[in-house]
Amino acid sequence: MTLMQTGIPASRTQRSLPIVALLFGLIGLLELGWMWVENIKATTCGGPYTEDYFSIPSLMGFTIGLIAIRKNTHGAPISLAEDVQAPIWISGKLLAILGAVAGAPGLLLAIASLPSCSIYSAYTGCRESGPMQTLRTIHNSQAQYYATLSRFGTLEELAAAGYIDAAQANGSAIYGYVYSSSDVTAETYCAHADRANDKCGSRDFIICEDGVIRYNESKVKGTVKRNEGTPIGEARSAGSDGQFQK
């Protein structure tokens, strides 16, 4: 008996493309997940975006998946029954589509992480707004603490008294910045906002009892010392009555 000639691709390479695309796509997803977890653990910059991120497996999975979808059409015929042909075509296209879909997130993230991309630029700008607001909150809390105890306190003491969050006092990175205090006496204090690593923005900040936020800008993170840095805004001191005085 002669079997019907069907359109199943005779090329073994062509039949393997969907599987290869899916494998590369899955590897890209695993790489993306690993990068997400490691970046959050190491920098806590508010998200997994990494400068100059590029995933070869994601690119390969997406590209090969598109090629496999297009190639998965009637090509060189081989002899197979019609009822065998349909499942092969359907499974091949499904694997190719899954490979392309699995590779897409890594590819999109690589595009979004480009320095010229608006998503990346907006993300970078948001990194430095958080620490300035937090330092203002700490300064307000110091005024209240001073009004109660007639002295300034360390970040740990402010947190214990409920004026600030514990995360701001225990060295945890918050939106890419780590907070600490220095020069704490009855009449003086300084609070620092240091970058968790060199990729989290470009500035480190400090605020002291005069209420002026100052910063140092550099490619390498570092703690700003008292009376150092470029000032931001007007001086607002915490007076002995616990109120701000210009």
Query: Distance between CA 82 and CA 15 in Å, rounded?
Result: 17
Question: Which runs of consecutive H residues, i.e. helices, occur in 72-216?
Answer: 82-112, 118-127, 129-149, 155-160
Domain map (residue ranges) of the chain = 5-124, 128-245
176-191 residue pLDDT tens: 899 999 999 999 999 9
Q: Minimum mean pLDDT among 20-34, 140-154, 193-207: which range?
A: 20-34
pTM: 0.51
Strand partners, 51: none
pLDDT, one tens digit per residue, over 28-81 is: 878 777 776 665 554 444 444 445 566 787 778 788 888 877 776 554 444 445
Q: Give CA–CA dist 209/142, Å, rounded.
A: 8
User: Are 28 and 106 within 8 A, CB to CB?
Assistant: yes
Tell how far CA 120 is from the center of its chain. Answer: 10
- Are 234 and 245 in contact by the 8 Å Cβ rule? The answer is no
Burial 9-21 (b: 16+ CB within 10 A, else e): beeeebbebbbbb
The residue among 76, 100, 72 whose CA lies nearest residue 86 is 72
Cα–Cα distance for residue pair 215/50, rounded to 1 Å: 24
